[in-house]
Structure 1
């Protein structure tokens, strides 16, 4: 293709199409043109959600320490992450869009965006395992849109609309990460390829991981084997499976998708409202047979990680459930 013109930094373009090789279509003087995705940022739904881990951090007008400070953010502020430029994230906080140093942000999900294949011939597989069947073979510098991750693999969508997986060793991400058109949504939950029975294994592994911490002491604000509170326990377990969560039960209740009580499956997060206000104050992991595992702060039954039945007090205070992995 010939070069038909140039665009300048911060110039706004009206995009009309996206090609899976990594190019966007737009018009200049009614002429069809294409620009490589690497060079533009596409506004849209946030790529992922994060929280501020510093006591105070500056939200800036542009990336760089010399940029104007828009506001000072407090620790645990929830951030909607739209893009990345080297060490900085473009985030939305309290309705204001600005840039913040990435080291101050705990992202709840692994990188999602435009992945560039690095390798002459790279196998794209039907599920995240080196022994899985090859869905297609990618060439060097080929572009894919990734929207999920698990254990060192990225989930992507092929041209025919089917799902596949690529090992993280063979990709690098463009400097700007952003969701693209609705055919390639920036999903924040891991959804396995249709019909993949291996997710049942992950379900069991998740429960086994949770049970490893049986008897660990309850410590308010804790999120390690030395001591955990309820949301610290759930985030610590799910972290082993590539999911990053807020250390706040009410925020965890916004992740994944809603599950009716009658449709609970092992691995679902179950939430409780222990106060008269109806606000969510407790969370655990459903393990089946009307039981869940949680970091309990009960003075009666003990302050440690244990299994409880969804009856009596817990049934009376049960609030909702969310499914992080769509089995």
Structure 2
């Protein structure tokens, strides 16, 4: 445990990998050690293996609860608040890391769903002191606020209030820089609002920012290609469509190894439509048509 702690203090990827190796050996001795499991989760989080963090926390939560209940049953029934706090801490570090992992994956809706499920299972001690998940897991409040702004932006956009939508998406972006996939969604959504207001270059800029944050974001790539087509920049549109074809091809190959025929066919159809559009853009690009300066201005 001491050796793994020393590795993690250096906060480099190679040291985190070394820490995982040491922890794996230690877990062969103490399979239910809460400290070792928490250290392992921290190391995985440091390596940005967020899916593995979620899996580890969820898989060990029930067993940790059982261990705690067994320990408490063997002790005196007159437990004080510090005993209760220690016995419930196994939940909190797992909840916190699960929420953080969903946050960094950009899956804020799933983080919120998880929080809602856990609120009813707050330990008695925390509820008696009027503690909420926002006080126990500070990121919980941020997740709720970001989703509130995004939902307000979506509602404003659907109602045709594009300026209001831009304001909400901008607020969400300013509140958050750590969840890159979520910020990418907000930039892409704001691009749609800018396009609706005729601010094409602003829309292109936002799509570019979304793609910088999430290089595999299909909607942002497709949207920017359409925007380039609108201003007759067919060469740039073709570049984006080639990138889109490459990503869609990978998706189709992945789906080929999975079940769900309808889902696979949707990807195949989208790939075919994109390939047809790419051919058109390449043909238009060869004509060397001048840009639509009026639309750009």
Compute the TM-score of the two structures, normalised by the length of structure 1.
0.23
Higher strand share: 1
Normalized per residue, the structure richer in helix is 2
Of structures 1 and 2, the one scoring higher in RCO (CA 8 A, sep 6+) is 1
Bigger Cα Rg? 2
- TM-score, scaled relative to structure 2: 0.25
